[in-house]
């Protein structure tokens, strides 16, 4: 199950099959989680997820930015323009109170569902 949001372009890619999306819906949660530690700009959110996932979850920009905008629209994130560590113009996002609540909710929902799936797969 490939997942999608995270492009896993198989390095030695044999799999021509459409490895389109799996675990769809986890992206928002991961983004919220990344911002749970403090404000980050978009690019760094992707870096964060990539690093902590052990280089497994590559968040594509075409998925990342729509996700950020979506979450901001829902009032879970807020943003301001600033300057990145590399001295570039960047938009910094941080969690709102609602975002923090949502993170907690999605987190426990993830535990519930992934646990359920794991049980089936181990049957």
Partner DNA sequence: GAGAATACATAGAAGTGCAAGGGTTGGGAC
Partner DNA sequence: GTCCCAACCCTTGCACTTCTATGTATTCTC
Residues 72-91 that bind a second copy (CB under 8 A): 74-75
Instruction: Determine if 18 is a binding residue for DNA (CB under 7 A).
Output: yes
Instruction: Determine if 49 is a binding residue for DNA (CB under 7 A).
Output: no
Give the burial class of 78: count Cβ atoms within 10 A of its Cβ; 0-12 exposed, 13-18 middle, 19 or more buried. middle
Instruction: Determine if 75 is a binding residue for DNA (CB under 7 A).
Output: no
Q: Which is nearer to a second copy, 52 or 83 (CB)?
A: 52
Give the burial class of 41: count Cβ atoms within 10 A of its Cβ; 0-12 exposed, 13-18 middle, 19 or more buried. buried
Q: Which is nearer to a second copy, 85 or 120 (CB)?
A: 120
Distance CA 12, CA 106 (A): 34
Site size with a second copy, rule: CB under 8 A: 47
Instruction: Determine if 47 is a binding residue for a second copy (CB under 8 A).
Output: no
Q: Check if the beta carbon of residue 91 is closer than 8 Å to that of residue 80.
A: yes
């Amino acid at each position: 199950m490939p997942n999608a949001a995270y492009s896993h372009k198989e390095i030695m890619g044999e799999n021509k099959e459409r490895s389109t999306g799996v675990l769809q819906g986890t992206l928002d949660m991961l983004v919220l989680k990344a911002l749970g530690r403090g404000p980050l700009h978009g690019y760094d959110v992707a870096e964060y997820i990539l690093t902590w996932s052990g280089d497994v979850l590559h968040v594509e920009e075409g998925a990342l930015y729509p996700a950020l905008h979506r979450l901001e629209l829902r009032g879970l994130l807020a943003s301001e323009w600033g300057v990145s560590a590399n001295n570039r113009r960047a938009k910094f996002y941080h969690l709102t109170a609602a975002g923090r609540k949502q993170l907690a909710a999605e987190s426990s929902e993830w535990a519930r569902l992934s646990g359920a799936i794991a049980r089936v797969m181990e049957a």
